[in-house]
A and B are shown apart, each in its own frame.
Chain A
Amino acid sequence: MSTRRNILKGAVATGALGTFGVGYAGTLEKVAKGHWSGERPLNNITGNSAAPEFTVTPDGDVELNPNQQVSYTMCIGCTTMCGVRVRIDKEKGKVVRVAGNPYNPLSTTDFLPYGTPVQESFRAIAQAGEGDGQRHRSTACGRGNAVLQQIDNPRRVLKPLKRVGPRGSGEWQTISFEQLVEEVVEGGDLFGEGPVAGLRDIRDLETPINPDAPEFGPRANGLAMLSSVNDGRDEINIRFLKQAFGSQNYARHGSYCGGSYRSGSGAMFDDVKGMPHAKPDFGNAEFILFVGTAPGNAGNPFKRIGALVAEARSDGKLDYVVVDPVLNNSDSGPSGARSRWVPITPGTDGALAMGMMRWMFENGRINAAYLAQPGKEAAEAAGEANWTNATHLVIVDETHPRAGRFLRASDLGQEISGERYSDADPFMVASDSGPVPAAASAAPLFFDGVAETTDGPVAVRTSLTLLRDEAMSKNLEEYSAACGIPAETIADLADRFTSHGRRAAVSSHGGMMSGSGFYNAYALMMLNTLIGNLNWKGGTLVLGGWFPDNKGPAYDLATFPGAVKPSGLPLGRNVPYEKTSEFKAKKAAGKAWPADGPWYPNAPGLGTEWFSSMVNGYPYGIEALILRNANPVYGIAGIGHLVERLKDPAVLPLIIAIDPFINESSALADYIVPDTVMYESWGFAKPWNGVPSKVTTARWPVMEPKVSKDADGATIDSDLFLIAVAKRIGLPGFGDAAIPDADGTLHPLNRPEDWYLRGAVNVATIGTPVPEASDVDMEFSGVTRIRPDLEAVLKPEEWRRAATVFAKGGRYENLDKSYSGDLGAHTWAKPMQVYNEGVGAARNAMTGQRSPGTPAWREACFADGSKVAEIYPRSDWPVKVISFKSPLQNSYSVGAEVLLRIVAANPVNIGRALAEAHGISTGDMVRLTTPGGSLESVAIVRDGVAPDTVAIEHGYGHRAFGARDITIDGEPMPADPRLATGTLQNDLGLLDPTRDKTGVWVDPISGASVRQALPARLEKIA
């Protein structure tokens, strides 16, 4: 039972934290020293501690340590991408330690004014600074402190790799960059397995990818690119794939991360593709309900939320409740009643939200004054900061061809000055004299009646009436039974939530990745709209924005002469089924539904569903996949069932991974392109959310990258690879004449520097340009390292301003730009959708049925509409399994081995009652089985787990990153069992048993993978 020993060891090591020194065993008797038996440390008092990076005298003089460099750049240890200060031992070329950039709001709550010179920023964080150096304290998190180890990770890919054996065999050979580019572009018999089409052939903008279905576009759509996250380099990916190569198929990891949350929010914000969302104004809210998200335990922006909530619960006014199946670091015992945990049955958050809504409707606790404004003018006149479609009338007559759509003026035969059902066709609201166009005054919130249209009388209701109907469709006891939260607690939460005016908020995220995820998220977000908190201080705020690198006054990096506009329906089926030839043919044959597979008209690009499309060739197969730092094979629940098919080159002929590591997905690649990591690479990132002021965080190579060079001496990375491929094929937008400046003069794109340095000029010159960096600024910030590039690439009047952006690790609006009076300074102007017409009018491709256009509580179901609980009944599958985010590990951090010193494994968390029912004690070995898989692990019995729930921390259970043996150029690199520690909850993920064409279980609206509330059995095995 080696597994058990490994995991138990982990658990014990965790416990051993309490002893500080695990290595000390028993009394040591050393009478006299004689000669020193150990290694002499650098210093007798401070041992091997690093020399300080600089000294700050009490007078405030800053004296640099000439052996070290301190630079402000970006962490990419998770998706938050905080600004950090990196301290480098120049001689050893090693990062000593990383902390925060005090200009950067993701690392600093009280961040420095942008005008502060760099050397003063050093003083601000020293003893001589305000608050004894702690007012502007700027931090890195546990993982952020650890991930510098990835740079020197011995398992890093430093040279291009080509597989030797079959796909996934773990046998590789190193090849030159030039060979890599030639082979992937030109194709040929690359592996002795027969001919493989190269990217040059695939880049065919004329031939349909499916001759029978021209709606799927050209053969070029047969190259798909799955990126993990926008790490600040996405623009160049998109330029390559879409604008130059001409493929439609670009997606990121969202559909196996938090996609259902974003989709639910997107429905309310009326953009199901961009999926906007707001975050609580943590520092000013008086009450926050966190559901399926854990402030300070995980999330994005992790540190900023953690710090703001910690401060608000200690020194501020915040009370908060965390609703989650598992108790985690978001709770704070020492904060007493200000922080509270409420357990919930996994995947049932919508029942809680709809129950709260019911109570709010019944007790008059909705913000009627806000909801009654039917349009922008009315809202402005009423002093509202936003408006909703609560009062708009929806056609509810099921027989009407526009069932589920809003009633418009033209439906009543009214004259309109534009196209029917366009923006020029007014929405209708109720009045004493029947439906009237929404105007500049308040309208009735509730109406259930008939509109006389040109086609006769039609049943209509307001959006808010539909929402109320939905909320009232069950009573509190029924909602309570569904979610496991007592009815009085639901009422109490609704009461508390509605007792602070607009200074209250609901926040959510990854807990929404259940089979009911879309509606759960939509319902939770709707609570915010019902109290009208959007844009208000203490309510919910949208991202303040950024200073974009791709579109600015100096250079246009977003467009270029000869750019292609990709065409055709996307691989992820995130468009209406009705657009397909299949639909038309089936309709003509008299049975339009079901489609051969599910479609998701209200979803964004769906990386998760790509894999079903690829292995089934539905709606079409592809010829090549680029995985860019993405790891879907680790991240998608249940994808293990598809991996064998992906290994077959006949199914997917070419897989190229761009990755610094061999992860579970790049392990299946034909080629691995090495990439820079952490502080070696370029990029510009805006925060995901949660910062009300403008932020652009800059990443730049503050040290010499470890990765190898091409024949011209350029560092091999993701960007250089895409540039080289594009140039070899002869794609537009790359090469000597690629980047237009303001005068239209074209500048080269031959190296990453050509792109990012010009991007920096845009960042620097938007609005009032930043000041020029002095030589002193550059010396203190280490920017002298890239000064030759700055001067060589940029114009004389540009380069010092770009240098300022790098010297300060980005560009930031000052803290005092966060608010404007009682509002956030950057407000969201478009209306909230109490009823989302796109969702409410769409027909499910498998059932032909419509789904609610308002938030609703719906039990999880599979693609054909069958309830999961009917196919996998509770009698057989009495337990629900969830995964939760770790404060330390994520899906790609395991190689930062110091993290395993702190938490060495992820035993499964079992609630006390469930454990007792099975006779399970902490340390026992248990087996969890779902319809999708099984795993064995060590149990931790806790009180902080919801009944009948087992919770598994994410980030462990690796099969790559060094967890298995590999061979490179015939040299074996044996596995390190520590890297394989623990289990992966996604191994329990389900295939959807109702899908004829194999696919994992996804939410029917968002198309996002389902990892929460998996039906399971638990047994003790030892």
Chain B
Amino acid sequence: MNMNRRGFLGAVGRVSIGAAASVAGGAGAANAAKADHIPKWGMVVDLRKCIGCQACTVACIMENDVPEDAFRTHVSVYELVKDGQDPAMVMLPRLCNHCENPPCVPVCPVEATFKAESGEVLVDASRCVGCAYCVQACPYDARFINHETQTADKCTFCFHRTQAGLLPACVETCVGGARNFGDLNDPESAVSKLLAENEVSVLRPEMQTNPNVYYIGLEDVLSGRVAGEAAYRPAHTAESVAHAEGV
């Protein structure tokens, strides 16, 4: 498999015009420019900034031609009622966590799913037999069987875009600025700084998956809540929430 950048983009024709340098890149970009630097992609979602507009959800569908009955990412909307407090809205953007220790990888009988160089958990559709073991293994319900291709499908962190020096579609269009994406291997990157400066948490820490998707402002009550009740579905109280298993 040719996973290097040029190889991946080989099919894309290009017109090249040099850009002037007045919109300066940050130190992160300079770091990333070093020939031997391999980025490790991660996302930091600041829940305080999510407005639940679903721009990410729709952008992902458009960018990735996600089939009718599935999502690679979406925003769960909850009305959260805690004892003695007024109800409050919580929006929880969800996607593949691109785990350091992805439970979906070892269960694949044909080694179709794998960790790529920059940490993305990907599926090689030419190998996938559609057995759905990975779908069952994922603690975040982030995978589905694409009914068109009959193979496992999921968020790729917009692999095709990051290889082109661009950002994932969901990040580009995040209205509230909740989704932040970048290189966790670069201490000067925006995401590294967010991790250094904020208390963060991950979904389902008890699964020991070591996600590369972090959350600022995630209530414990929601950290396990991945099976998901509906947007505007019955409010749940802190007491009643069970850490749901994948569907």
CB distance from A749 to the nearest CB of B (A): 37
Chain A, residues 278-310, CB within 8 Å of chain B (1/0): the string is 000000000000000000110000010011001
Across the interface, do A127 and B166 meet the contact criterion of CB distance under 8 Å?
Answer: yes
Q: Which of A21, A57, A97, A99 has the most CB of B within 10 A?
A: A21
CB distance from A306 to the nearest CB of B (A): 4
Q: Which of B48, B65, B72, B110 has the most CB of A within 10 A?
A: B48
Residues of B within 8 A of A18 (CB): 76, 141, 226-230, 247
Across the interface, do B130 and A28 meet the contact criterion of CB distance under 8 Å?
Answer: yes
CB distance from B231 to the nearest CB of A (A): 5
CA–CA, A903 and B230, complex, Å? 10
| Residue among A14, A109, A139, A311 making CB contact with B55, cutoff 8 Å | A139
Q: Which of A20, A44, A51, A942 has the most CB of B within 10 A?
A: A20
**Interface residue? A332 (CB, 8 A):** yes
| Residue among A52, A109, A887 making CB contact with B53, cutoff 8 Å | A887
Across the interface, do B165 and A126 meet the contact criterion of CB distance under 8 Å?
Answer: yes
**Interface residue? B106 (CB, 8 A):** no
In chain B, positions 92-145 with a C-beta closer than 8 Å to chain A are 94, 110, 122-126, 129-132, 135-136, 141-145
| Residue among A97, A141, A334, A887 making CB contact with B217, cutoff 8 Å | A334
Across the interface, do B64 and A48 meet the contact criterion of CB distance under 8 Å?
Answer: yes
Q: Which of A130-138, A359-367, A427-435, A813-821 contacts B (4 or more CB under 8 A)?
A: A130-138
**Interface residue? A454 (CB, 8 A):** no
Across the interface, do A907 and B58 meet the contact criterion of CB distance under 8 Å?
Answer: no
CB distance from B107 to the nearest CB of A (A): 12
| Residue among A23, A66, A100, A942 making CB contact with B144, cutoff 8 Å | A23
Chain B, residues 13-40, CB within 8 Å of chain A (1/0): the string is 1111111111111101100110000000
**Interface residue? B189 (CB, 8 A):** yes
CB distance from B35 to the nearest CB of A (A): 9
| Residue among B12, B159, B189 making CB contact with A65, cutoff 8 Å | B12
Nearest CB in chain B to that of A335: its residue? B48
CB distance from B16 to the nearest CB of A (A): 5
CA–CA, A310 and B48, complex, Å? 7
**Interface residue? B214 (CB, 8 A):** no
Nearest CB in chain B to that of A66: its residue? B13
Q: Which of B3, B11, B61, B218 has the most CB of A within 10 A?
A: B61
**Interface residue? A847 (CB, 8 A):** no
Across the interface, do B143 and A21 meet the contact criterion of CB distance under 8 Å?
Answer: yes
Nearest CB in chain A to that of B30: its residue? A58
CA–CA, A112 and B88, complex, Å? 35
Residues of A within 8 A of B61 (CB): 898, 901
Across the interface, do B58 and A898 meet the contact criterion of CB distance under 8 Å?
Answer: yes
In chain A, positions 103-134 with a C-beta closer than 8 Å to chain B are 109, 112, 116-117, 119-134
Quick one: given A20-B144, A41-B125, A329-B51, are A63 and B76 in contact (CB under 8 Å)? no
**Interface residue? A212 (CB, 8 A):** no
**Interface residue? A340 (CB, 8 A):** yes
Across the interface, do A30 and B12 meet the contact criterion of CB distance under 8 Å?
Answer: no
Quick one: given A23-B67, A49-B160, are A61 and B18 in contact (CB under 8 Å)? yes
**Interface residue? B84 (CB, 8 A):** no
Residues of A within 8 A of B143 (CB): 20-21
Across the interface, do B46 and A314 meet the contact criterion of CB distance under 8 Å?
Answer: yes
CB distance from B173 to the nearest CB of A (A): 5
CA–CA, A330 and B55, complex, Å? 16
| Residue among A58, A99, A132 making CB contact with B33, cutoff 8 Å | A58
CA–CA, A394 and B5, complex, Å? 76
Residues of B within 8 A of A788 (CB): none
How many B residues face the partner with a CB closer than 8 A?
Answer: 128
**Interface residue? A74 (CB, 8 A):** no
Across the interface, do A124 and B87 meet the contact criterion of CB distance under 8 Å?
Answer: no
Across the interface, do B125 and A21 meet the contact criterion of CB distance under 8 Å?
Answer: no
CA–CA, A909 and B79, complex, Å? 12
Residues of A within 8 A of B13 (CB): 65-67
CA–CA, A28 and B132, complex, Å? 6
| Residue among B11, B12, B175 making CB contact with A306, cutoff 8 Å | B175
| Residue among B91, B129, B163, B182 making CB contact with A132, cutoff 8 Å | B182
Across the interface, do B228 and A19 meet the contact criterion of CB distance under 8 Å?
Answer: yes
Residues of B within 8 A of A29 (CB): 131
Residues of A within 8 A of B163 (CB): 52
Across the interface, do B229 and A310 meet the contact criterion of CB distance under 8 Å?
Answer: no
**Interface residue? A416 (CB, 8 A):** no
CA–CA, A748 and B64, complex, Å? 46
Across the interface, do A943 and B146 meet the contact criterion of CB distance under 8 Å?
Answer: no
The majority secondary structure among interface residues of chain B is loop
CA–CA, A18 and B25, complex, Å? 37
How many A residues face the partner with a CB closer than 8 A?
Answer: 125
Across the interface, do B190 and A134 meet the contact criterion of CB distance under 8 Å?
Answer: yes
Across the interface, do B189 and A132 meet the contact criterion of CB distance under 8 Å?
Answer: yes
In chain B, positions 45-63 with a C-beta closer than 8 Å to chain A are 46-55, 57-59, 61-63
Across the interface, do B90 and A334 meet the contact criterion of CB distance under 8 Å?
Answer: yes
Across the interface, do A145 and B16 meet the contact criterion of CB distance under 8 Å?
Answer: no
Residues of A within 8 A of B86 (CB): 340-341
Quick one: given A23-B67, A132-B190, are A66 and B17 in contact (CB under 8 Å)? no
Q: Which of A120, A132, A303 has the most CB of B within 10 A?
A: A132
Nearest CB in chain A to that of B237: its residue? A943
In chain A, positions 38-96 with a C-beta closer than 8 Å to chain B are 38-41, 43-52, 54-67, 96
CA–CA, A888 and B75, complex, Å? 13
Across the interface, do B48 and A21 meet the contact criterion of CB distance under 8 Å?
Answer: no
Across the interface, do B14 and A97 meet the contact criterion of CB distance under 8 Å?
Answer: no
CA–CA, A779 and B17, complex, Å? 11
Residues of B within 8 A of A266 (CB): none
**Interface residue? B243 (CB, 8 A):** no
CB distance from A52 to the nearest CB of B (A): 4
Residues of B within 8 A of A2 (CB): none
Across the interface, do A49 and B156 meet the contact criterion of CB distance under 8 Å?
Answer: yes
Across the interface, do A310 and B71 meet the contact criterion of CB distance under 8 Å?
Answer: no
| Residue among A17, A52, A902 making CB contact with B164, cutoff 8 Å | A52
CA–CA, A299 and B74, complex, Å? 22
**Interface residue? B150 (CB, 8 A):** yes
CA–CA, A309 and B147, complex, Å? 40
Across the interface, do A57 and B165 meet the contact criterion of CB distance under 8 Å?
Answer: yes
CA–CA, A868 and B123, complex, Å? 63
Across the interface, do A66 and B229 meet the contact criterion of CB distance under 8 Å?
Answer: no
Quick one: given A17-B74, A327-B87, are A58 and B125 in contact (CB under 8 Å)? no
**Interface residue? A158 (CB, 8 A):** no
CA–CA, A901 and B54, complex, Å? 11
Quick one: given A120-B22, A125-B172, A902-B74, are A940 and B232 in contact (CB under 8 Å)? yes
**Interface residue? A144 (CB, 8 A):** yes
CB distance from B195 to the nearest CB of A (A): 13
Across the interface, do A145 and B59 meet the contact criterion of CB distance under 8 Å?
Answer: yes
| Residue among B14, B65, B153 making CB contact with A63, cutoff 8 Å | B14
**Interface residue? A148 (CB, 8 A):** yes
Residues of B within 8 A of A131 (CB): 26, 190
Across the interface, do A132 and B181 meet the contact criterion of CB distance under 8 Å?
Answer: yes
Nearest CB in chain B to that of A121: its residue? B23
Across the interface, do A60 and B217 meet the contact criterion of CB distance under 8 Å?
Answer: no
In chain A, positions 8-42 with a C-beta closer than 8 Å to chain B are 11-12, 14-24, 27-33, 36-41
Quick one: given A46-B156, A62-B19, A127-B29, are A142 and B164 in contact (CB under 8 Å)? no
Across the interface, do B130 and A97 meet the contact criterion of CB distance under 8 Å?
Answer: no
| Residue among B28, B46, B94, B232 making CB contact with A942, cutoff 8 Å | B232
Across the interface, do B14 and A66 meet the contact criterion of CB distance under 8 Å?
Answer: yes
Q: Which of B158, B173, B219 has the most CB of A within 10 A?
A: B173
**Interface residue? B200 (CB, 8 A):** no
Besides A310-B176, A902-B74, 8 more A-B contacts (Cβ < 8 Å) are A24-B144, A29-B131, A54-B164, A60-B19, A119-B19, A137-B172, A888-B54, A898-B62
22 inter-chain pairs at a CB distance below 8 angstroms, sorted by A residue, are A21-B69, A21-B70, A24-B145, A28-B130, A38-B149, A39-B149, A43-B160, A47-B153, A50-B160, A52-B166, A58-B165, A63-B14, A64-B17, A126-B165, A129-B25, A130-B23, A139-B175, A306-B51, A327-B89, A333-B219, A334-B50, A341-B87
Ranked nearest first, the 4 interchain pairs of A and B with the lowest CB-CB distance are A18-B228, A21-B144, A38-B150, A334-B217
